[in-house]
Structure 1
Amino acid sequence: MGHLITLATSLNQWALDFQGNYERIMASIAIAKSRGATLRVGPELEIPGYGCYDHFLEGDTVLHSWEVLAKILSSDETMGIVCDFGMPVVHKNVIYNCRIIVHDKKILLIRPKMWLANDGNYRELRYFTPWAKHRQWEDHYLPRIIQAVTKQVKVPFGDAVVSTADTCIGVELCEELFTPASPHILMGLDGVEIFTNSSGSHHELRKLYRRVELIKEATLKLGGIYLYANQQGCDGDRLYYDGCAMIAVNGRVVAQGTQFSLTDVEVVTATIDIEDVRAHRATSSRSNQAAASERYHRVEVDFALTSGKFEEVKEEDMVGIISSKTIPVRFHTPEEEIALGPACWLWDYLRRSRTQGYFVPLSGGIDSCATTVIVYSMCRLVVEAANRGEQQVISDARRITGEPDGSDYVPTDPKEFCRRIFHTCYMGTENSSNETRQRAKQLADAIGSYHVDLNMDTIVTAVRSLFALATGGFRPQYRSQGGTNAENLALQNIQARLRMVLAYMFAQLLPWVRGKNGGLLVLGSANVDESLRGYLTKYDCSSADINPIGGISKTDLKKFIAYAGDAFDLPILESFLDAVPTAELEPITETYVQSDEADMGMTYDELSVFGRLRKVEKCGPYSTFTKLVHEWGSYLSPLQIAEKVKLFYFEHARNRHKMTTLTPAYHAESYSPDDNRFDLRPFLYPSRFPWQFKKIDEVAEALPDRSNPSSAKVKQE
């Protein structure tokens, strides 16, 4: 007796885009109804957009959300279906993050969020207050614009459930799934059979598995149907919400939407038999616990979710309908995640900023290479979507490429589309090698970008001459030419910062050179490990408009480049993997070639370890040392480990100020050092940590050296 139930919708909402958000919500309802669905669930705060941040404190945001809801309720699209919408609601002068359950132009229940996300990228307690009256409800008096539509003066507000003619629906909101005592447990024991979860969960490499396991576990012991909706896309900030709308029945995943997509509206539907839940729950232990459970207030609605029969759905509307058969969950590899997540984020940013393309200073190194390949991946996704006939993508592509009104242009080739919207430039100096220059040109040719090759020695020389003129003849020299460390560093920084100036000049004027209007967005290419260590020049070419790889480690970027070489048919990428990472800011001599890892005093792999210990495992210098003694002690002595730990924390501390100006970057890594949103730490430190480092030295002196067995034996004797 299978019946259609809409799983959820993945919507690409945009913070404060009330008109666009309304249109996408209405499209999702229409698609759901066309498939015979009787329950539609949307992502968290879908009406104003999840990422409004401090705008949630403005009365305008709440007002416009009610206005949009009134417009939705006025439509006949909401007839004959239960819909679950998200928006902020002010109840008794307190702002709550709420779900509003409606049916036939009536509000059934306003359910406020009880456990708020307030870690990492989330600051919900800054805007909202959690509902603290569990299993309690009270009257909420509706604004007059809603009363005029629904003819209701007040509706239930609180922790209650909705009882239909054939089942019972309970709401669990995003973070509540991740809490130790999730609401679905108590609701399920009180007879709730369908759980909806409206989420604003962001993408992070290797994160999806945890979310999927929690969704499966939510109904494995308890029994039930779990409907998970998530936002998909960039809604105006560093995060990409990775969709993956899902339905689980009794611990089995039976439907899954895409994780990464350029589509603005995705609706996933499934055929569900509610009797499966009742059979699963027919166990003595569950029944004993249920019999003693506390009751929830039930808001009754004279409507049956199972009233729509599967066979009544038209054949042309069968697309996307999935039976309750268990399916294997799709997990992308980290390399695929890097290819897809930042690419979708870049497309959203490009089309919503209404600029004409991207510009990358292409150095011939692996970081700018990765940024470039991600843009090419975006072009591939645009072409794939256009080939599927997705009109929104085609329309955006025509506008971005400057096609006139009425044009029939459709992007059909990634290289052709890339040449229209992507610009690269190699900015060489006397310190640059022919190898990096050639790699940059070959990569640009392979993907089709509009490429410029230049030497900037005359500009660098002019700045050095100006300094000498202003200081009465002091002319800085490189270290290899007898200069001091201060001179050597200043000359490197001159080159790096001049590249940033040139990048913005070319980004503003290259469209003009090509006979087009508008400007380009400059993309950065500093990886998460370089930012963590501070191995970058403040306001150099790492300073850009946005950075697609700023939250990705060097280790993962190398794996991505290896993957993309085959997946995108780009054999030139092999040469980037073989090259030694170098800034090429110092002269190359017979005995010296600048190397990133030599300059930093640590490897990129070691930086990743430091990053995770510092941020994810919440370690200070001393606890980092004690953990690494166990992890690295088989091949490094305690004294060597101590020196590495002290060097990292010293360099991280003294360069921390650079994070205050870090280019807004796609968030992809749990140890991102982004000062502006994710990593809230001081930027003025006692960088030599005298107390902490002294303790490390004392312990390191006393510990046996496991990397040298003979040394350990002497210490023991």
Structure 2
Amino acid sequence: MNFVKVASACPVTKVADVDFNLENIKKCIDDSLVKESKVIVFPELSITSYTCSDLFLQRRLLDKSENALENLCNYSEDKDILIAVGAPFEHNNLLYNAAYIIFKGKILGIVPKSYLPNYSEFYEKRWFSSGLHVDTDLIDLSFQKEIPFGTNLIFTCGDIKIAFEICEDLWVTIPPSSYLSILGANIICNLSASNELVSKSDYRKNLISNQSARCMSAYVYSSAGVFESTTDLLFSGHLMISENGSTLAENERFQRENEIITGIIDINKLKAERLKNVSFRDSVAFCPFKGKYINFAFDNIEISTFDRYIDRHPFVPSNEHERDVRCEEIFNIQASALAKRFCHTNSKKAVIGISGGLDSTLALLVVVKTFDILGLPRKNIVTITMPGFGTTDRTYTNALDLCNQLGTDLREINIVEASLQHFKDIGHKAEIHDVTYENVQARERTQILMDLANKEGGLLIGTGDLSELALGWCTYNGDHMSMYSVNCSIPKTLVRYLVKYVAEKQLSGKVSETLLDILDTPVSPELLPKDKNGEITQKTEDIVGPYELHDFFLYYFIKQGATPEKILFLAKAAFKDYYSEEEISKWLNMFLRRFFTQQFKRSCLPDGPKVGTISLSPRGDLRMPSDASYNGWI
């Protein structure tokens, strides 16, 4: 599956006590091996400690540091982990602040710090030289010869490509990691000694998250801890692991024991992001240097305990505050897009079919918000309820109550007689409840809505959502069609939260109660007759599967181009307490079959706004042939 576990570590240190520091570095390595990490990153100058100041010019300290590196190489001989530690490096009468990359008894390469801070509380140029203009060279240490030395080193194990920068390198206008990512590095490691100031940790976190997003990479960050010298500064031991803009792991700062955090990096996810981003590919031409690729090989990268958090609902923020902010933004996008279409067409009326279900409810709420923005009376919103053979009292009542409470122009047109006449016209028996039986009703409703929109001089607003489009769970030229579709890029799991957000945060009283009851109603097209108790018999999720699974499949299929095997693996991790592997596999195959066979419906969708990173619009995000075979995916 191309996952690799990485670690960021902050050992307890004593300033200039190399032996003490080395022992704690070893303890952190052992701990990370227990946790199955394959890469471990230590702070800047972790062998000596960062705050040695003029002691960096002492021969004793430099010799002790090199001896410690030899010791660490010997210690690592039988350990399947890439180790990055910081230490001084002396070369051609210059001293560099460097990262030493060690694997199985050897130093694979030495990366010097490019940018030396020499302002405010920093004065590194007093001791160190910049590695910015160092050409890749082979250098010798007392215990190992011909070690690659330079800022352009990329350490490669198959698809895993790791590069390094040091502290200030990240804070400059164009960090070295930007170029290293262009050259193929997908895991950037930063050995740092970033002191603490009020609010600096927030800035630092945003910097790391944003850089991982710009580089479409993972970013493993380790900073010096509280046992550095406090002559003028305090360090907190801030540890972070980010991936393409998301923080996978972060510690509590100011710890007083050896500490490591771990995170599982999804290499294939990063590859997928870069593969589809043309701008990333174009930027390769502007890289001012070439990469030096150093090959190595892990014994294996298998993870027996897959502890990466996999969100069951990737379209829905798990944090309530963030979710509320997202919901408000989505409503603004939907309403603003619809308002533009009304201004462009000079329309003053909207027509919308209301079933008492989630999708039409959300669409109506968007239309109401749009009319309020434009200063148009809500009575210009023509809401049509069209009861048929399967309409239940609950959905019918909720549809009426909602429209009345929102103050729209409510009309009722029963489609039973028209449908029976159509059955007679085409020679279909009404007691045969097949796809013809269902689609006659869907198309009858769409015909009514289209014709009424023409009669009223208004726009017919579509109600179908992204999940239905992915599955093709809509009647071609029925509910599949409208004059503008406001929900077309909103998945079913998010539709539910949007309606809930309005019910709980924006409205109150009777209308809020109605919305909450709509939320509790089973999802159904209500095209088959109700049971003897007047209840819904046709529940969509019993037929095509749970929407939370389908939304999960859709996210990874489109966002990452993930294989079915990977989607199944991730779904098992996310839904292990909810569905069996057999259930997940069954519905995944259902999703794949329907996604491929129903593309013809998506090829002629009406206009509608894109609100998230995933859309199935044939004009923008998904150019897919309607005749593609699904055989290679099942």
Q: Normalising by structure 1, what TM-score?
A: 0.42
Larger Cα-atom Rg: 2
State the TM-score, normalizing by the size of structure 2.
0.47
